[in-house]
Copies of this chain bind each other. A is one copy, B any other.
Amino acid sequence: MEKSRKEQIIQSAAKLFKEKGFEAASMRDIARTLGIEAASLYSHIKSKDEILELICFRTADELIKAIDEVNDLYFNAEEKLSMAIKNHVKIITENLDSSSVFLREWRHLTKPKLKEFISLRDRYENGFKQILVNGENENVFDAPDKKFAVLTILSALNWLTEWYNPNGKMTPDEIAEHLTEFILTGLRVKSVV
């Protein structure tokens, strides 16, 4: 069975929102990619805003589910961080369009939903923060300013949407490995033990 019309609409919209931005992509643009008229979209969705909400909140839910799982399943902080990064990279690379919209276009969410979204995002960041606290207790991480560290880590992960190419040489897992290595040990030459 192929995807429901609604799902097709959301997918097309995500691609266009990514390419042109939420405001610049019109309902008529979305309709055109599906070979129908703009008015016909409204048999499947309530509004343009609703499409954006669906895209943003789905991705948010997926990320939160992943970080909660990691914090539940693993004990070791290094392992936790490594898994969290792997999951993040996986979710982003497997849903490039939605992820870009999630990261770039959430600003266009309207009032009540916007607040809800931001609190979800904060919750995700706290999941990462928790890992850093764990790592400090285990004496393997050194990050005095946790919030700063989390934002720096996530920024490195999120920029993926700007340059990741599904046809490139690196697989998502390789990217995750590189990033983990980079985040853990930085640029400096590793001393031979």
B140–A189 contact, CB under 8 A? yes
B184–A148 contact, CB under 8 A? no
Q: How far is the CA of A160 from the CA of B64 in the complex (A)?
A: 23
Number of interface residues of A (CB under 8 A): 42
Q: List A153-193 residues whose CB lies under 8 Å from chain B.
A: 154-156, 158-159, 162-163, 170, 175, 178-179, 182-191
A187–B21 contact, CB under 8 A? no
Given contacts A151-B159, A152-B156, whether A187 and B178 have CB atoms under 8 Å apart is no
State the copy count for this chain. Answer: 2
A15 at the A/B interface (Cβ < 8 Å)?
Answer: no
A187–B24 contact, CB under 8 A? no
A142–B187 contact, CB under 8 A? yes
A152–B139 contact, CB under 8 A? no
B182–A185 contact, CB under 8 A? no
Given contacts A24-B23, A159-B152, whether A182 and B186 have CB atoms under 8 Å apart is yes
Extra contacts besides A24-B108, A132-B187, A142-B188 (4): CB < 8 Å: A142-B187, A142-B189, A183-B186, A185-B186
Residues of A participating in the B interface, judged by any CB pair closer than 8 Å: 20-24, 81, 104, 107-108, 132, 135, 139-143, 145, 148-149, 151-152, 154-156, 158-159, 162-163, 170, 175, 178-179, 182-191
